[in-house]
Structure 1
Amino acid sequence: MLSFEEQSFVRAMLRRLLEERFGKSFERFFQNLMCARYPDFIDVRTHGNLGDIGADGLSLHDGKLYACYAPEVPDAKAVRTKFTDDLEKAIAKRRDHFDTFVFVHNDLRGVHPELSILLSEAHAAHSSLRFEQRGPQHLHRELCRLERDEIQELLGCEIPVSERVYRIGLEDLEPLLTHLVAQRRQATSQAPAREVPPEKLAYNRLAVEDRDEIISAMRYTPLVDEYYQQRQDVTERDEVAQGFNAYYQQVKADYDDPGDVLWKLQEYVAGNARGRRDHERAVMVVLAYFFETCDIFEEPPTNWRAPALQGTGR
């Protein structure tokens, strides 16, 4: 498994790659990634007048059909046209080949609102089918599960082997926490900070890579306490926590995948400051702090216990 530093590097390189891959170029990258990741994945290419018949890939074992959409500039009308056309073609020509329709996109900002509407409409119209979306966060997780040489080939660069120690100082956190102050909402009630329940990471179904990042960042959450202890406004922490929780509830209602929820919370913390690796690490410290205080993600029921881990493979 890649280290935290290496996963951060892969995330940064993937973001850079996606900023340059559109249309067929993105489609080809996605197909290469899925072929490396899943032996049963079939990359569907266009063929003469047949086109791709509504599919850019098929997973034989789990019955998933993938359709890619990667424009240079997102457009609501174009999203609807692409989604509708691919779904109609897939149902007409490949209905016996799949039971889940997966719409894959390259939008680093998250799911386009129009796509959320389309997924809901499609589910209502085709109750026998399941519908999913895949974006940059999903692609990052798939990449990180590959062997190092496969990741390097897909990204077109080497992953630096580094023994750098994960170091975060208060000065790294201050810009992010100041940004949160600007985002905060007036609190209607002030709840004291609580210790994170030991089963919380598992209960929220976070991917192993996401859990590892949060656990690594927890070593530095006392710095956030230090920051708030120095504030003249003693209500600031609670107001920020209230705003953070309100945003989490909003995101949780829009996204089913815990990885997507975490991705949106990272954007909320960092604002326009995302990009550099030191900022990525500082973002995770802030998230880990509010995870520990139970302002984001759900607490497990008192008697809940994590299921035994199963052996994993590619």
Structure 2
Amino acid sequence: MQFEQRMYARLKFLELMGELCETAFEDFFHRLMCARYPDFLDVRTHGSLGDQGADGLSLYGHKLYACYAPQTVDVPAVKRKLASDLAKALDKRSGQFDTFVFVHNDRRGMHPQIATLLSETDAGHPELAFEQMGNRRLWYECMRLDQELAEEVLGCQIPVQPVVHGVGMDDLASLLQHLRDKRVAADPLMTLPDVDPRKLDFNRLRDEAREGLVRGMRHSHLVDAFYEGSMRTVEHDEVAQGFRLYYEQVRQEWADPEDVLWQLEMYVLGNGNQQPRVQRAAWVILAHFFERCDIFEAPPPGWVGAGVGASA
């Protein structure tokens, strides 16, 4: 899909996430996972058998998926359902899974008490791995679909039309605001961190693109500060995954690394005009995920380039 089509699909996805709950959410989850994975089994209830603790099974991945999509979050009710689903799965589906995936519809992220509940459940079952699948991970699965399958999953056509929202805007809005506020307080004369120029050289980044990333690295520690804490760490990893998936897509469509970087900038900001302070904050974000190697490629061990420097 083209950039504008992905933007349109993102908006339709967010609309759906604001509406879907209970069985409607489960139906959407089944459509998405069946479109993504040929080994996914969309388990339905059947009479007195029920669903035996599973809303979906991955044959090859040995994962069991359980959906929790109430209209409003009721922590005691979720705790009872989680315990019931896990007990049924362990009893009825022994040997069919080694990972239990908690799938939920909370657009704001995971409720802190439910996060604690999952952590405690994980500690009580060392033989199993536990994962969560919420708004961000569901969207990342959508991003991997081709247009025809995405239209089937989202239930709408995806036309080409101008859209000024960035794919990552919802996830990154608070980070952008944080950087806008904190950058002005940072020491403009502070020493730049040591930057391995080989990665810049290896990816053929030069001139303004190279300089923009290096300037962004001056403040990239602010991104780490924003994501400090156990709950923020999970969010940090999910946002990084979004960058990796989007980078993988756009590098297949654009050969020039500067074009790829431009697409990534639109991922953060959209394709509308932004204030200079917001644009500078976006480059701090790009520099951060560049340093983490979530975007662009790390040179192989022992690689020595000619060095493109700041100009060609």
TM-score, normalised by the number of residues in structure 1? 0.65
Q: CA deviation at 1:150?
A: 1.6
Q: CA deviation at 1:89?
A: 1.4
Matches within 5 A, 1:233-272: 243-250=222-229, 254-255=233-234, 258-261=237-240
CA distance in 2, matches of 1:62, 1:37: 13
User: Percent identity over the alignment?
Assistant: 39
Q: Tell me the C-alpha RMSD between the 2 structures.
A: 4.6
Work out whether residues 40 and 59 of structure 1, in 8 Å CA contact, stay in contact via their aligned partners in 2.
yes
Q: What is aligned with 1:30? A: 29
Q: What is aligned with 1:232? A: none
Letter in 2 for 1:192: L
Is 1:104 equivalent to 2:103 in the alignment? yes
> Which SS does the other structure have where 1:97 is aligned?
coil
Is 1:16 equivalent to 2:10 in the alignment? no
Matches within 5 A, 1:118-137: 118-137=117-136
Cα 1:177–1:24, aligned 2, differ >3 Å: closer, same or farther?
Answer: closer
Cα 1:45–1:292, aligned 2, differ >3 Å: closer, same or farther?
Answer: closer
Segments of structure 1 that go 5 or more residues without pairing to the other structure are: 168-174, 201-214, 229-236, 265-275, 308-314
Segments of structure 2 that go 5 or more residues without pairing to the other structure are: 167-173, 244-268, 302-312
CA distance in 2, matches of 1:221, 1:74: 46
Q: CA deviation at 1:48?
A: 1.5
User: How many aligned positions are there?
Assistant: 259
CA distance in 1, matches of 2:153, 2:286: 36
Letter in 1 for 2:114: L
CA distance in 1, matches of 2:123, 2:94: 17
Matches within 5 A, 1:229-308: 243-250=222-229, 254-255=233-234, 258-261=237-240, 288-294=282-288, 298=292, 305=299
Cα 1:154–1:296, aligned 2, differ >3 Å: closer, same or farther?
Answer: same
CA distance in 2, matches of 1:190, 1:181: 18
Q: CA deviation at 1:197?
A: 6.1
Letter in 1 for 2:15: R
TM-score, normalised by the number of residues in structure 2? 0.65
Cα 1:143–1:284, aligned 2, differ >3 Å: closer, same or farther?
Answer: farther
Q: What is aligned with 1:192? A: 192
Work out whether residues 99 and 130 of structure 2, in 8 Å CA contact, stay in contact via their aligned partners in 1.
yes
> Which SS does the other structure have where 2:101 is aligned?
strand
Q: What is aligned with 1:269? A: none
Q: CA deviation at 1:281?
A: 8.9
